[in-house]
Amino acid sequence: MDIQITGKNLEIPPAVRNYILRKLDKINRHLSNIISFEVVVREESTRSPEQRYVIQVTVNNNGTFLRGEERGQDLYTATDRVAEVMNRQIEHYIKRFPYSKGRSTATIRTPAESGALDEDEIQSMPKVVKVKRFDIKPMSLEEAIDQMQLLGHDFFLFYNPDSNNMNLIYKRKDGNFGLIEPLTK
C-alpha cells in the first residue's frame, strides 16, 4: 500500500505525519484491497481560525475511490474529522456493496456491517427515479461551459472533438470549473 502525504503552503511536522499514519492505519483495517492513500494537507489564510487547516484524503480501493476533506483549527483536529468522514464512507461502501465486483466476503473485515439487508434497508436504499436521454453534439470546452451555465446546472456532459471522447465539465466549490476526461487505453 502506497501512502503519500504532501503539504501545500506548510511543512508537515513529523509528529503530525505519524498521527496521520496512525489514523490511516485504522481506516486500512476495514478494507483489504486498498492500493493507495493520498493525503494533501494545506493551510489557508482564512479569517476563521477554525477553518485554517484542510486535510484531503483520497483512498484507492482497487479502482474504487473514496474521498474526504475536512477543516480544523489545527492539524490534529482536521485529521480526526477527516478520519471520521472516511470511516463513514467506508461503512457505507461496505454496507452498500458487500459483494461488488472483484470483492469477496474475505475482503470485508467487518462482518457485522456486511450482514444481510432487511426489507426496510432495501426499501430505503436510493434508486434511479428518473432517466434523461438527449442528443449529444460535438462542442468545445467553452461551448460546454456556456451551455452548463445557461441551463443552470452544476455539471454538463458533452462530446469533445479535440479528445474524441465524452467529457464532463463541472462547477467546483471555489467557483472554477473541473473537467473529467476518460483515459483511453
The per-residue pLDDT for range 74-124, each reduced to its tens digit, is 999 999 999 999 888 888 877 776 655 444 443 444 434 444 555 666 666
Q: Evaluate whether 44 touches 54 at the Cβ level (below 8 Å).
A: yes
Query: What does pLDDT average to over the chain?
Result: 81
131 domain-assigned: no
Query: Of the candidates 93, 122, 151, which is a domain's last residue?
Result: 122
126 against 104, higher pLDDT: 126
Instruction: Tell me the average pLDDT across 4-26.
Output: 88
Report the alpha-carbon distance of residue 90 to residue 59 in Å, rounded: 10
CATH of the domain at 75: 3.30.160.100
Mark whether 117 and 156 lie in a shared domain: no
**pLDDT more than 70, % of the chain:** 84
Contacts of residue 37, Cβ cutoff 8 Å, sequence gap at least 6: 1, 2, 3, 4, 24, 27, 28, 57, 58, 59, 60
| Pair (98, 28) in one structural domain | yes
Cα 88 from Cα 145, distance rounded (Å): 33
Terminal-to-terminal C-alpha distance of the chain? 24
Asked whether residue 173 is domain-assigned, the answer is yes
**93 and 146, same domain (yes or no):** no
For 79, 121, 123, 160, the CA distances from 101, given in Å and listed in that order, are 31, 21, 23, 30
CA 172 to chain centroid, in Å, comes to: 14
Task: Identify whether residues 112 and 162 lie together within a single domain.
Answer: no
pLDDT for res 103: 45
Q: Structurally, how many domains does the chain consist of?
A: 2
Residue located via cell numbers 462482518:
111
In a domain, 71, yes or no: yes
Report the C-alpha gap between 175 and 35 in whole angstroms.
32
pTM: 0.55
Residue 37 confidence class, pLDDT cut points 50, 70, 90: confident
Per residue, the 3-state secondary structure of 9-36, as one string, reads: CCCCCHHHHHHHHHHHHHHHCCECCEEE
Cell readout for 166 is 465524452
68, 145: one domain: no
In a shared domain, residues 28 and 89? yes
Interval 29-37 mean pLDDT: 78
Regarding whether 147 and 63 lie in a shared domain, the answer is no
The answer to whether residues 51 and 95 belong to one domain is yes
- The range of the structural domain enclosing residue 95 comes to 2-122
In a shared domain, residues 166 and 79: no
What are the grid coordinates assigned to 144, written together? 460546454
